[in-house]
């Protein structure tokens, strides 16, 4: 299944490949956010970024990464 975080709106729930539910925060624009424009929030309140297709990294992906596998809402 292909994921496109460009379809998300703030508050949408996202499922990681390890079963964690994250919350979509917003899409950032500009040069600094070109590769990782999507901000997500973890259940503990910390934030992270993702690529358009939901990955934590473009290269050197790790098995423990919480890549997004499904947009729940």
Are 25 and 39 a contacting pair, CB within 8 Å?
A: yes
Q: Which helix (H) or strand (E) holds 71?
A: strand 68-71
pLDDT of residue 29: 80
pLDDT digits (tens, 9 = 90+) for 19-36: 999 999 999 887 567 788
**Which range is least confidently modeled, 6-10, 16-20, 33-37, 51-55?**
33-37
Burial of 66 (0-12, 13-18, 19+ CB in 10 A): buried
- The CA-based angle 63-36-65, given to 5 degrees, is 10
Pull the structure tokens for residue 54.
């939901």
Which pTM value belongs to this model?
0.86
pLDDT category at 1 given cuts 50, 70, 90 is low
């Amino acid at each position: 299944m292909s994921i496109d975080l460009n379809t998300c709106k703030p508050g949408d729930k996202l499922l990681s490949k390890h079963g964690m539910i994250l919350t979509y925060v917003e899409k950032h624009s500009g040069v600094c956010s070109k590769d990782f424009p999507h901000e997500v929030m973890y259940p503990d309140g910390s934030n992270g970024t993702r690529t358009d297709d939901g990955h934590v990294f473009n290269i050197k992906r790790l098995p423990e990464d919480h890549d997004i596998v499904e947009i729940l809402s």
